[in-house]
Every structure is written in structure tokens, then in C-alpha cells.
């Protein structure tokens, strides 16, 4: 996001596909390894080409190889094209062109070239391996698995290939299958630190950071300068509640040489460690790593206007803020909008691009702001965000722009900078009244909304949510009317509550809990309380000032080194004493609910 990204001239004829932007969150470093056109791969290709008879063709291909070995991708690609002009069915020419296009950043064009090469030289397994790495990078994990499997069959001794196959399987959530791939390789090569590291990432994603740390320790014993393993151990330590040790590991890992993508990923992780420790100034500075063009999960914003910086004078200016990350994050970061409006002053103008489902709620809350929906597309393997509601003239009139979280550097540089503001979003009061009337038809008792999971499960997000069966003591608090606020497919949990716990969770009629977010916000304001984890709907309740209780893991950075949620002052926070120790804290929530709303209380009498 640091430089303009234009939809013109950046495509190679690939279709423009609407996508959901990859959320730029810290991840474990256990991805595929190797590089397209590595010296070893090029040498193997030269050996395979040795028997070619067409001297002129062979000479062009040799020149292409020489250029690629010197990291001259433009010349390498040009020589490959000249060779293909002589013989368009030369698989090695397509393979070299694929390498050149991938290294130049044209992923869509590279895929087509790899596919042509694989069809023409199917026995050259290196093509499948490189195409697998590219497919993995583009999020095509099932395709990558098949391609890596092809390479492993040809080179069973190649531990890097086994590692890549395990990563592709792990990222599809098939953790036991990934372990099955890694186990025989580790028995054959117990000194391979790469495999120990990847095994650790499998256990981390499965939700066992303590066991994972053991394998990261082993990887570091074998290779003390292994930056990825040290960084991964840092993340495990953060999940286990030791942010200080996590930061020390991350700082040390960042001292090692590494690719730009890995560097920015580690900086982003370090941001969460600083934020978890309450060092907001450094945390927000590191958080800018998500905007680096070299970061794999970067979302490019198609606007060619000056970028806001923390020292920018906003008075009387025209500013565009672009929503980012997940939907809940857009709500969370909007905490700073009143401060931005104050800095712009009476003559300043603010435009805000948001997830479409948030537009109506924000328009009501901030009538002085021009608000519209952003849209996100895949352009040749790059994620690009645009603002269709702004014309070319509108964009030209903008003085400065920024991703929505970036002004936190200026307006939320310490916990003390968070205002004790009852709310910053305004629900539709007519709909609040509507839901109060509808709730009269629900079972008697205080109305308590429940949220128990996120629909986003990427990046091991399930680690931060209690299993549904541990909600039993909360669901069984007597005298409570339980209201379902959980969006997505939750029929299994509703049936489980009914069958196993003997509890009926009332589902509000006439509302799509995933799509009708303005109405969801109004519904939470009609309830006596909302309890849940930090998903989008709980953020809406908090931003609208509705009574809310949050069940939060130890490592949650939005607590900003406190035992509360500074973003929403009214929100009560419950945190387990150790990672994954959900049962005692769910018991504590149940006890607090009984004390506040259980049978015999004034609230119960209201029902």
C-alpha cells in the first residue's frame, strides 16, 4: 500500500475476479521452501537439455539460463520467448519463461507458462515443484498438494519437497495427514531442522502451542540461527502468555537475513507483541508492515494520492480512510473516527470506504462523512482494493489517504489516549424498538445474546474460541432467555444445546445474522447483555455501547496490555489463566451471569 496500484498496465490479460482480501495477520513461518529457478533446479534442467540437437534453440535456452542465474529476469524471459518463437512446443522454453515471469511478479502469466511446460515435459518433476510453490503462494492449496506429491514421488529423498507437501496439507486443516507425511522423513533425517520446524507449525495450527514449542526448541538446537524457528517459538510463547519472552525471540529472529515477505510477516507479529505489552507507539509502527508491497498478504489500494503520515496536518484537508483487515477490525479501528473529524475541523472533509454490510450503520453514525463500499479483486495474483463510489474527480480532490488503522499511530499512541466514550456507532432506534417488541414473544427472563465462534477459521483462529460444550454452565443459568446471535451455520450447536443440555436458544425471526449487520447492531442494543468471543457481531455491540461481555484469550493484543478492552469502555472481559484453559473461565462467566441476571434478580423480574 505504500505506492499507487493501478488497474491499468498491471494485468497480463487475466480476468478480474472479486475476492475477499487476505487478512494481514501474523502467521507461523512454516511455508513452502525453495525458489523458482534455483541454481540446483537450473543445473538439473541443463542436464536434461544436454541431448537437444537444435543448436540455435539450445543456444537461446542457454542464454536464458545464464540470465536467470544472474537474476536478470527480463533478459531471461526474452531469450525464452525467442526460443519459443522457433519451437513453441519446447517445454524447457516454457519452463524458463515461467520462472522469469514468476520472479518478475506476473503470477497469472507464470501459471500459464508452467502449465504449458508441465504438459510438454511431464517427466521433468522440477516443473511440478515450481508450479506447486506458485500455486501455494496464490492460495491454491489443493492444487499445490497434488503438484508437490508429483515431485515427492520422483524425489522421495528431497526433504524440502516433503516439507512443502506437509505445508500444503496442513493449510487445508488436515493436521494428522501432515504429521503422517513428516514422520517418516524425520525418521530418515532426524537432523533436519526444517522438518522439526514444520512439525511445530502443524501442532501450533492444531491448537497446541506448548507441544509446538518443544519442536521449535529442537529445530533451534540443530540450527541456532534458524530465524523461522525462533520466530515461531516467539508466537508460541505469546499464545502461552509470555509476551516479553516472545518479543525477545522475535527481535533476535529479525536480525537474521531473510526474504522481504518473511521480514514484514515477523514485523507484523512483533507489532502484536508490543501491543500486548502496552507499548502502543512501537506496536503501531511495526503494524505498518502489513502495507509493505513485499508482504505476501498485502492489499494494494488503487489510489494515486499522497499517503497520510503521523505528522500530516489534517486541518481543513480532504482525507480518505480505507477499511482493512476483517469486518470486526473495521469496526474496532473506527474507534478513532471522532478524533479524525475533530482534527479535520469544520472545513475538512472525510471519506470512508468500508465493507458493504457496514455502510448504512456508519452513514447514520457519521452523517457528515461521505461513506461507501470498497470492493476487492484479484489482479494477476495480487489483491487490489478499489472504491467504486468515488469518481475520478472525487479521487483527484483527495489531499491524503490512509488505511483505517494507520492513524492509530497518532490518535491512539497510548492506552490513556482511548476516550471513555459510551459509543461511537449509532443504532437505528426504530429497529431497536422493533426488537424490543419482538423479544416480548421470546421466553421470559433477561435477554442474553450468545456468540460462540467466528466464521473465519484461517490461520488457526479456532485456537481463540472455547469448544461449544464448555458453554454448558452458561447456558444452564436459570431464569435467562438465551438469544442466538451466531451468524453462519450453527444448527449443530443449537441442536446440541437442546439435546445434551436441555436448553433452547431462541433464534430471532426475520433477520440474516450474517448479512443484516445494521439490524444486528440494533438487536444487541435491545438485549440486556451480549456474551461472546471477539467476532464481528460482538464488535458491533461494543461500538454501539450495548452491554457486552467478552471472553478473551491471554494473548489477545486488542487488550493492549490491560485486563480490559480500551476500545469499548463498557465491555467486561473474562480471560483464562493459561492458554486454552477455557473450562474455569466459562464457569466464571456463568457465575457472573447468575449473580447479575439469574432467577430472583430485578432483571429476571422484568422478564
Beta bridge partners of 17: 378
Angle at 464 between CA 462 and CA 466, to 5 degrees: 85
Residue 37's pLDDT band, with cuts at 50, 70 and 90, is: low
- pLDDT at res. 121: 87
> Do 287 and 413 meet the contact criterion of CB atoms below 8 Å apart?
no
Rounded Cα gap, residues 587 and 607, in angstroms: 24
- Mean pLDDT, range 237-244, rounded to an integer: 94
Rounded Cα gap, residues 511 and 514, in angstroms: 9
What is 18-221's CATH number, 3.40.630.30, 1.20.210.10, 1.25.40.10, 3.40.980.10?
1.25.40.10
The pLDDT tens digits for 82-117 are 989 998 998 888 988 988 888 887 888 888 898 898
The pLDDT tens digits for 103-155 are 887 888 888 898 898 888 888 888 888 888 888 887 889 988 998 998 898 88
- pLDDT at res. 108: 81
Q: How far is CA 547 from the centre of its chain?
A: 28
Rounded Cα gap, residues 523 and 542, in angstroms: 12
Rounded Cα gap, residues 231 and 239, in angstroms: 13
Measured on CA atoms in the order 536, 547, 575, 588, is the torsion positive or negative? negative
> Do 475 and 502 meet the contact criterion of CB atoms below 8 Å apart?
no
Q: Is 326 left (phi over 0), alpha (psi -120 to 50) or beta?
A: beta
- pLDDT at res. 34: 64
- Using CA atoms, how far residue 208 sits from 125, 164, 425, 577, in Å, is 35, 21, 37, 16
- pLDDT at res. 280: 98
Superfamily designation of domain 429-606: Glycogen Phosphorylase B; (3.40.50.2000)
Q: For the chain, first and last CA: distance in Å?
A: 52
- Using CA atoms, how far residue 123 sits from 117, 153, 358, in Å, is 10, 11, 52
- Using CA atoms, how far residue 103 sits from 163, 263, 526, in Å, is 22, 18, 55
Asked if the model's pLDDT at residue 54 lies above 50, the reply is no
Rounded Cα gap, residues 562 and 52, in angstroms: 68
Rounded Cα gap, residues 79 and 65, in angstroms: 9
Residue 600's pLDDT band, with cuts at 50, 70 and 90, is: very low
Total number of residues shown for the chain: 607
Residue 403's pLDDT band, with cuts at 50, 70 and 90, is: very high
- Mean pLDDT, range 277-292, rounded to an integer: 97
Rounded Cα gap, residues 98 and 116, in angstroms: 9
- Mean pLDDT, range 176-205, rounded to an integer: 95
Phi, psi of 291 (to 5 degrees): -95, -10
Average pLDDT, the chain: 89
- pLDDT at res. 300: 94
Residue 352 is given by DSSP the state: E
Rounded Cα gap, residues 361 and 356, in angstroms: 10
Asked if the model's pLDDT at residue 215 lies above 60, the reply is yes
> Do 385 and 376 meet the contact criterion of CB atoms below 8 Å apart?
yes
Residue 416 is given by DSSP the state: G
Q: Which of 361, 384, 357 is nearest to 373 (CA)?
A: 357
Asked if the model's pLDDT at residue 357 lies above 70, the reply is yes
Ranges 157-161, 238-242, 370-374, most confident = 370-374
- pLDDT at res. 601: 43
> Do 445 and 604 meet the contact criterion of CB atoms below 8 Å apart?
yes
Rounded Cα gap, residues 327 and 412, in angstroms: 20
Predicted structure pTM score = 0.85
Q: Which of 54-63, 145-154, 279-288, 299-308 has the lowest mean pLDDT?
A: 54-63
Which helix (H) or strand (E) segment holds residue 327: the answer is helix 327-333
| CB contact set of 80 (below 8 Å; sequence gap of 6+) | 60, 61, 64, 93, 94, 96, 97, 100
Calculate what percentage of the chain has a pLDDT beyond 70: 88
- Mean pLDDT, range 239-262, rounded to an integer: 94
Matching fold, domains 18-221 and 429-606: no
Asked if the model's pLDDT at residue 287 lies above 90, the reply is yes
Lay out the sheet containing 382-386: strands in order across.
17-18, 375-379, 382-386, 299-301
- pLDDT at res. 297: 87
Beta bridge partners of 41: none
- pLDDT at res. 463: 65
- Mean pLDDT, range 375-396, rounded to an integer: 92
Beta bridge partners of 448: 482, 529
Rounded Cα gap, residues 76 and 596, in angstroms: 71
> Do 275 and 1 meet the contact criterion of CB atoms below 8 Å apart?
no
Q: Which of 109-113, 273-277, 305-309, 407-411 has the lowest mean pLDDT?
A: 109-113
Asked if the model's pLDDT at residue 22 lies above 90, the reply is no
- pLDDT at res. 580: 85
Phi, psi of 587 (to 5 degrees): -65, -40
Show me where the domains of the chain are located.
Answer: 18-221, 299-413, 429-606
What is the C-alpha R_g of the chain? 27
- Mean pLDDT, range 562-573, rounded to an integer: 96
Q: Which of 349, 298, 302, 297 is nearest to 322 (CA)?
A: 302
Q: Which of 79-88, 225-234, 491-500 has the lowest mean pLDDT?
A: 79-88
Rounded Cα gap, residues 37 and 92, in angstroms: 12
Q: Can you list the alpha helix ranges (DSSP code H) found in 104-174? A: 107-120, 125-137, 141-154, 159-170
Q: Can you list the alpha helix ranges (DSSP code H) found in 351-428? A: 359-365, 392-396, 408-411
Beta bridge partners of 18: 377
Amino acid at each position: 500500500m505504500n505506492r499507487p496500484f493501478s488497474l491499468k498496465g498491471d494485468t497480463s490479460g487475466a480476468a478480474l475476479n472479486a475476492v475477499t482480501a487476505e487478512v494481514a495477520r501474523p502467521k507461523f513461518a512454516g511455508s513452502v521452501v525453495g525458489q523458482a529457478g534455483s541454481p540446483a533446479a537450473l543445473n538439473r534442467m541443463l542436464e536434461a537439455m544436454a541431448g537437444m540437437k537444435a543448436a540455435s534453440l539450445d543456444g537461446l535456452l542457454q542464454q536464458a539460463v545464464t540470465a536467470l542465474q544472474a537474476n536478470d529476469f527480463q533478459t531471461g524471459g526474452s531469450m525464452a520467448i525467442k526460443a519459443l518463437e522457433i519451437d513453441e512446443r519446447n517445454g524447457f522454453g516454457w519452463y524458463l519463461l515461467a520462472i522469469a515471469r514468476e520472479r518478475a511478479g506476473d503470477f497469472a502469466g507464470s501459471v500459464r507458462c508452467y502449465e504449458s511446460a508441465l504438459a510438454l515435459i511431464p517427466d521433468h518433476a522440477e516443473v511440478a515443484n515450481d508450479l506447486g510453490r506458485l500455486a501455494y503462494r496464490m492460495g491454491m492449496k489443493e492444487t499445490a498438494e497434488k503438484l508437490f506429491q508429483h515431485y515427492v514421488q520422483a524425489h522421495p529423498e528431497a526433504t524440502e519437497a516433503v516439507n512443502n507437501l506437509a505445508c500444503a496439507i496442513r493449510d487445508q486443516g488436515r493436521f494428522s495427514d501432515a504429521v503422517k507425511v513428516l514422520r517418516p522423513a524425520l525418521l530418515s533425517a532426524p537432523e533436519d531442522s526444517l522438518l522439526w520446524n514444520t512439525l511445530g507449525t502443524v501442532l501450533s495450527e492444531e491448537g497446541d502451542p506448548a507441544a509446538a514449542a518443544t519442536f521449535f526448541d529442537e529445530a533451534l538446537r540443530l540450527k541456532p540461527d534458524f530465524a523461522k524457528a525462533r520466530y515461531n517459538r516467539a508466537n508460541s510463547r505469546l499464545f502461552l502468555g509470555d509476551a516479553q519472552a516472545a518479543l525477545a525471540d522475535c527481535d533476535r529472529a529479525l536480525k537474521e537475513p531473510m526474504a522481504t515477505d518473511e521480514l514484514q510477516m515477523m514485523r507484523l507479529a512483533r507489532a502484536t507483541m508490543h501491543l500486548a505489552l502496552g507499548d502502543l507507539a512501537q506496536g503501531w509502527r511495526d503494524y505498518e508492515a502489513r502495507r509493505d508491497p513485499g508482504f505476501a498478504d498485502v492489499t494494494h489500494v488503487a489510489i494515486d494520492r499522497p499517503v497520510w503520515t503521523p505528522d500530516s496536518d489534517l486541518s481543513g484537508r480532504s482525507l480518505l480512510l480505507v477499511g482493512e483487515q476483517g469486518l470486526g477490525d473495521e469496526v474496532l479501528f473506527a474507534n478513532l473516527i471522532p478524533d479524525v473529524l475533530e482534527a479535520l475541523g469544520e472545513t475538512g472533509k472525510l471519506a470512508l470506504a468500508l465493507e458493504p454490510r457496514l455502510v448504512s450503520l456508519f452513514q447514520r453514525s457519521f452523517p457528515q462523512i461521505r461513506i461507501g463500499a470498497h470492493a476487492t479483486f484479484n489482479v494477476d495474483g495480487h489483491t487490489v482494493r478499489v472504491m467504486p463510489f468515488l469518481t475520478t474527480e472525487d479521487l483527484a480532490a483527495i489531499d491524503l489517504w490512509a488505511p483505517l488503522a494507520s492513524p492509530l499511530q497518532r490518535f491512539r499512541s497510548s492506552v490513556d489516549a482511548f476516550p471513555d466514550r459510551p459509543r461511537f456507532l449509532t443504532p437505528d432506534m426504530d429497529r431497536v424498538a422493533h426488537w424490543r417488541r419482538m423479544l416480548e414473544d421470546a421466553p421470559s427472563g433477561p435477554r442474553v445474546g450468545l456468540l460462540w465462534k467466528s466464521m473465519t477459521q484461517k490461520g488457526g483462529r479456532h485456537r481463540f474460541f472455547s469448544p461449544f460444550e464448555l458453554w454448558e454452565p452458561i447456558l444452564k443459568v436459570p431464569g435467562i432467555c438465551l438469544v442466538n446471535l451466531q451468524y453462519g451455520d450453527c444448527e449443530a450447536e443449537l441442536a446440541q444445546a437442546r439435546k445434551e443440555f436441555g436448553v433452547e436458544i431462541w433464534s430471532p425471526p426475520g433477520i440474516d445474522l450474517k448479512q443484516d449487520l445494521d439490524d444486528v447492531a440494533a438487536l444487541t442494543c435491545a438485549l440486556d447483555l451480549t456474551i461472546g468471543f471477539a467476532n464481528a457481531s460482538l464488535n458491533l455491540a461494543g461500538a454501539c455501547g450495548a452491554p457486552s461481555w467478552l471472553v478473551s484469550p491471554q494473548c489477545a493484543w486488542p487488550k493492549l496490555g490491560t485486563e480490559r478492552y480500551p476500545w469499548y469502555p463498557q465491555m467486561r472481559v473474562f480471560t483464562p489463566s493459561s492458554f486454552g484453559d477455557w473450562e474455569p473461565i466459562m464457569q466464571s462467566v456463568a457465575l457472573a451471569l447468575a449473580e447479575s441476571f439469574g432467577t430472583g434478580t430485578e432483571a429476571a423480574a422484568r422478564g
